Structures are given as C-alpha cells and as structure tokens.
A and B are shown apart, each in its own frame.
Chain A
C-alpha cells in the first residue's frame, strides 16, 4: 500500500469480493419470498391447414393453428431481483415411443420488470407507455397478471414428419422462466420447494387436432 498503484489494486480487489458477496445475498434473498403462480388455459379454435415452411420450399406440411384463452396470475414471481419473466405456451402430446412427449411452443412473451424496461425490444413510443404504466414503482407485480382472450398463436406447429392432422390427447401447458438480475434461472416447477409452490393449474383439457378439410373447393392456405 506504499504507492497509489498498489492502493488502487488492493481497493479494487476487495471491491470485487464485496460485489460478489452482495450479489450472492441478493440471489439468496429470492428464496425467502413465496411464489404462488396460477393459471387457467383453454383452447378456443383449433385448425389444421396445409402449408409450406417458407415461400420457396417445395415441401408441403400440415400446420396446426391453436387459438387459446389464458388467465394467469404470475405476480408473485416479480421480486426486486426479477429482471424479466418469460412466459410460453406449449402444445404437448404423447409420442409413439414409450415415455416420450412431442412438445412445441405456440406462443411466448417477455414481461420485463420496470427495472429492466430500458432493455425491452420496443420503439420509443411504446417504451414511454410501458415506463408510465409502472408509475415510478421499482417492481410492478400487476404485469404478471395475464388475461388473453382468443389469442392468436405466434407459431404454427407441425411434426417432423410433416403430418399433424388427427392427433389426439393434445394438451396446452403454460410455462414460465424467471430471469433474475443476479442468481440462477428458474422454470415453472411441478413440485413445492420451500416457499415456492408448484404451478397451480396451467394445463388445458385434452383436445384433438382435427383432420384436414377435404378438397371440396377448399383452397389450401399458407399459414403466415
């Protein structure tokens, strides 16, 4: 510590240690807050159409378009350490092989905490609106309350074989991924972990994907 350079080095070294310890404490503090997520989801309209993966493709595949209504309360997932919440809806159905499931995402959304609004992928006008909605609060649990009616899916799904019509025992699952500022990534869980309760609901009733419409003057559509 006899000259300025060694003092800079020593202070910086201890600063990194302190920063690491504080970050570890912040990440650990998440476990002291209870999580009680819940959701109900149901399908409103299911169609299967023929289409192409992209404009110039010669392959013809079948795509399922699953519209749904979702009511979720994920507000307890927002703590001071939450940066973003990633919510996604998957369609799952059993595969022919044992213990395997087919899974495809039909819709997803990033919900930022006010502390991370500046990182969201929005233009200046929408960003201003988003910031205003938080009304200066550092965390806004109301952003975790979702209420979607007859929501159009973001993605039309298919099976690697290209055939997805007439599949039964399909269920929609709601999942989430909490992305913290510091700490581990955590996903929706099917079990209780201390104060973190398992996801209540979040699975729809089983439904089936209908058969393709027969070609009685019906035009094939490219689902875009």
Chain B
C-alpha cells in the first residue's frame, strides 16, 4: 500500500514525458528564453531602465520554467507504442529455448 503511494509520488515528481514531448520542450525552452532575453534588452535600452530589463528577464525565465518543467499533457501526445507482451513468435521461441536449458540442468 505504501509502495503504491510512493510509486505515485515518484511518478509525479519524475514528470516523464514522451520523446516528441521532449523535443517540443527543448525547442520551446530555447526559443522562449532567447526571445525573453532579446525583449528584456530592447525594452530596457529604449526605455533606459535597467530595473525593468531585469524584471522582464526574470519574469520571462519563471514563465519558461512553468511552461517546460511540469509534465503537461501537451508533452504526452505521442506516447511510446510498446510491443504487446508475448505476442511475437520470435520472443516465444527465445522463451522456449530458456525452458529447454533449464530442463537440461534440472536432470
């Protein structure tokens, strides 16, 4: 029971996302941070206000963390298609091989 609870907590903290989601997350993080950096410099330069530039930069970074770190469903749109258990002949023959070996040993 405690194991199951722990498993759920671990899954939540882990925040796994599928491979397409990982690609999207990386592109998004890079693009948003670069754009935030550019905006913070340009706004600060034209308004001649460095405190504002800092606030925009830090705010944009916080936004990026929020966008990319939690495992949003958007990142799980292409789950990995695992093959079914024990369905393919190749796998069963391998299992049979293992059984035969055991019989040899338990003679």
Contact = CB atoms under 8 A, between A and B. Distances in A.
B34 interface: yes
13 contacts: A2-B22, A4-B14, A4-B15, A11-B33, A11-B61, A15-B64, A18-B33, A18-B36, A26-B41, A26-B50, A80-B50, A81-B50, A139-B49
Contacts of A138: 47-52
B53 A3 contact: no
A59 B51 CA distance: 51
Contacts of A1: 17, 22, 25-26
Contact of A181 (B13, B26, B29, B50): B50
Contact of A26 (B13, B44, B65, B68): B44
Instruction: Please report whether the interface of chain A is mostly helix, strand, loop or mixed according to DSSP.
Output: helix
B10 to A, nearest CB: 10
A17 to B, nearest CB: 8
The 10 A-B residue pairs whose C-beta atoms are closest, nearest first, are A4-B15, A138-B49, A18-B37, A1-B22, A80-B48, A3-B14, A22-B37, A7-B69, A11-B29, A80-B50
Interface of B: 13-17, 22, 25-26, 29-30, 33-34, 36-37, 40-41, 44-45, 47-53, 57, 61, 64-65, 68-71
Interface of B is mostly: helix
Nearest to A11: B29
Contacts of B51: 115, 138
Given A1-B26, A18-B37, A26-B41, A8 B49 contact: no
Contacts of B50: 26, 80-81, 115, 138, 181
Given A2-B22, A18-B57, A26-B45, 11 more contacts: A1-B17, A2-B17, A4-B13, A7-B25, A8-B69, A11-B33, A22-B57, A26-B41, A80-B49, A139-B49, A181-B50
B32 to A, nearest CB: 9
A26 to B, nearest CB: 7
Contacts of B65: 8, 11
Interface of A: 1-4, 7-8, 10-11, 14-15, 18-19, 21-22, 25-26, 29, 79-81, 115, 138-139, 181
A4 B72 CA distance: 11
Contact of B68 (A11, A21, A25, A29): A11
Contacts of A81: 50
A29 B47 CA distance: 13
B80 to A, nearest CB: 11
A146 B28 CA distance: 51
B49 to A, nearest CB: 4
